Structure 1
Amino acid sequence: MHSVTFQVPGKPQGKARARTYYNANAGKHVSSTPDKTVLYENFIKDRYLQKADGVYLEAGTPVTLRIVARFLPPKSKPKKVKHQMLDGEILPLKKPDMDNIVKVVADALNGVAYHDDTQIALVVAKKAYSAVEGLDITVEEYKDGK
């Protein structure tokens, strides 16, 4: 079974909305993805390519995408609360929204890990506190709901 697990260091980011504006020179409305999102997607692609060793899931192959978004506990919290956060007793109920994290990862890996993100049949994603922030991502061939 084809499977690639890799990490993306740094604070997890979600997919930002495309900005739409009227371009008077072109005489039409134009949409563009914010530069910060494009840079983050390219970073995710780069991290995947460093670990993938040529793994690419062809069109027609269902895909499972697993994501763990790791956040640092706030510095302002007491030690006891930080320990609860790091032990998983308290979860990060904050921005970015989980669906936007999934979207930025799915779009970043489009055409790199798999032919198209329509192949994604299963997504398992969670937010957690950790001593090191970042994303843990696994892309694998979907097998029987697992």
Structure 2
Amino acid sequence: MIQFKIPGPPVGKQRPRVTRHGTYTPEKTANYERLIRDIYKINRFPKLEGYLSMSVSAYYPIPKRTSKVKKEKMLKGILLPDKKPDVDNVLKCICDALNKIAYDDDKQIISMFITKYYSKDPYVYVRLDEVHGEDMSC
């Protein structure tokens, strides 16, 4: 099992930009993917083999003009973020960033789970597990 925390608000994978000079990844996405790779490398986590399971908890910032009552409900998990970035784009950004360093290819991930919460200090928590076929049966 590998687990790590990405500081700052969740960032979703943005669409590639096409110009007359070619195609490029938007800077916000490129920077976030670089941060994820750096965290993985700094912790010297190994490259995982075989089937993988990924679990992500994304903690979004509480909007600045939120009443005390609403803020309390957000911190207790009564009110949850139904705002962008979408969970699929957050997962895509993390999966793409970890390609070739945490695993050979994100096609190895056979199970994913993501949840969104509010927090005073936004961050993303990632957990990767190697799984075996017999572990997945009901």
Q: Normalised by the size of structure 2, how large is the TM-score? A: 0.91
TM-align CA RMSD: 1.5
Q: Is the 8 A contact 2:18 2:24 kept in 1?
A: yes
Can you list the C-alpha shifts for 1:64-110, whole angstroms capped at 9, x where unaligned?
11111101211211111111101110100001111100000000000
Q: 2, 8, 13: which is aligned to 1:4? A: 2
Q: Write the distance in 2 (CA, Å) between the matches of 1:54 and 1:13.
A: 22
1:43 is the counterpart of 2:66 = no
Letter in 2 for 1:108: A
* Off by >6 Å, runs of 4+ in structure 1: none
Letter in 2 for 1:145: M
Between the two proteins, the alignment pairs up a number of residues equal to 135
Q: Which residues of 2 match residues 1-146 of structure 1 at below 5 A?
A: 3-23=1-21, 30-51=22-43, 53-58=44-49, 61-143=50-132, 144-145=135-136
Q: Is the 8 A contact 2:33 2:97 kept in 1?
A: yes
Q: Write the distance in 2 (CA, Å) between the matches of 1:75 and 1:33.
A: 30
Is there any run of 5+ residues in structure 1 with no aligned partner, and where?
Answer: 24-29
